[in-house]
A and B are shown apart, each in its own frame.
Chain A
Amino acid sequence: MYAFQYRKAKSLKEAGELLAKDDEAKPLSGGMTLIPTLKQRLAQPTQLVDIAGLAELAGIDNKGGVLTIGAATRHSEVEASKAVKDAIPALADLASNIGDPQVRNRGTIGGSVANNDPAADYPSAVLALNAKVITNKREIAADDYFQGMFTTALEPGELIVRIAFPLPKKAAYAKFPHPASGYAMAGVFIAETAGGVRVAVTGAGASGVFRWKEAEQALAKGISAAAIEKLTLSADDINEDIHGSREYRAQLVKVMAGRAAAAIAGK
């Protein structure tokens, strides 16, 4: 690791100011991606501004048909939260399968969504549930927020404060985890929302998380595995690496979509 200066922010305001003053400073939340990145010397920030303990970023709240989760909420808290299990059980289920228990005890929802790793789980839930990303500056709709691999609408110094999930009628997440890392080889989140059925795919897109519009149309009249079975996902925009070809991943997306649809249909 290159040397850096560690600062524990006392408030969200102070964190925003520290980051705004220094282009090379980075916010630190759970650190489950950032610290490994630093250890590999893939980044050289001047300062790490620790925001994990900020009260403004804490708390889970279900009010008026919206489940709000503070950005510094750890995956293990989402996994165990009765409020989340009651409101959106698919979200608690997703959290319980991120990484491993030790990673879930540190990693945060805000960190995951801010990083937008193309194989992370949370971006698919944020996109499928049509959530709002609330920052220290504004509210960003999920459809505008994700802008490609590791790229989001966040500006320098802009921090996620909380994420607001409108409660879906039904939702399910299915993923095929990489056996070593636990990251999604393909993960599909299906949600029946007030605005219709939304299908978001992670782990497979060449430009990160994306909505599979053909599947959304196919499920509009009723969610079933059979409706997915008739579809073919083009492999053109699918990621390829040593773990799988784009054709393999496109097929995996379809299988995971079928499983998520079956889970919803069975409820």
Chain B
Amino acid sequence: MAKVTMTVNGKQCSGEVEDRTLLANFIRDTLKLTGTHVGCDTTQCGACTVHVDGRAVKSCTMLAVQAEGCEVTTIEGMAKNGKLHPVQQAFTECHALQCGFCTPGMIMAVSAMLKDNPHPTDDEIIHGLEGNLCRCTGYLNIVKAVKQAAGGKAGH
């Protein structure tokens, strides 16, 4: 067992974990932040995407102990003072979800993408979302939402 301490959504969090505990499980089971979803558990679907020190990572493929001392942001940390993050707002307005299971990971991936590239082209959006799968295949509205969040106002 190991003791881990990290900052999650701006708050310092500690817990006792097994060395093999995945970051996704620490977030969901120890911290009870269940907005981070585990879809495939094989590093493909991206539903478990969170930010670690500002970069999008798949939390099902990182050990909790590897995040020791890191700044972690989950979907629960995106809205501020009751106001949705611009990417969340755009997903809502563009109906960029169907069942919603992939949505937390999509929002985390998109917000990280826009930090690196605030005005992506369609091709860059598609390339940037290669790590996230939507089993409902609702990609068109997701791309639309990314463009809206980027200020592109696509479809409006």
Contacts and interface: CB of A to CB of B under 8 A. Distances in A.
B95 interface: no
B94 interface: no
Contacts of A8: 65, 68
A6 B62 contact: no
B63 A31 contact: yes
Given A76-B55, A102-B131, A180 B19 contact: no
A106 B131 contact: no
Interface size class of A (residues with CB under 8 A): 20 to 34
Contact of A35 (B56, B62, B68): B62
A21 B64 CA distance: 25
B68 to A, nearest CB: 8
B87 to A, nearest CB: 15
Interface stretch (B5-13, B28-36, B38-46, B144-152): B38-46
Interface string A179-204: 01110000000000000000000000
Contacts, number: 72
Contact of B112 (A1, A38, A101): A101
**Most chain A CB atoms below 10 A, which of B44, B66, B112:** B66
Contacts of B2: 6
A234 interface: no
B109 A180 contact: no
A36 B61 contact: yes
Interface residues of B, number: 29
B58 A31 contact: no
A177 to B, nearest CB: 9
Interface string B47-81: 00100000111100111011010000000000000
Given A3-B20, A31-B61, A50 B66 contact: yes
Given A3-B18, A52-B66, A102-B49, 16 more contacts: A4-B19, A6-B2, A6-B19, A8-B68, A28-B66, A31-B63, A35-B63, A39-B41, A100-B132, A101-B56, A101-B109, A102-B56, A103-B43, A105-B56, A106-B62, A182-B130
Interface of B: 2, 18-20, 22, 41-44, 46, 49, 55-58, 61-63, 65-66, 68, 109, 112-113, 116, 128, 130-132
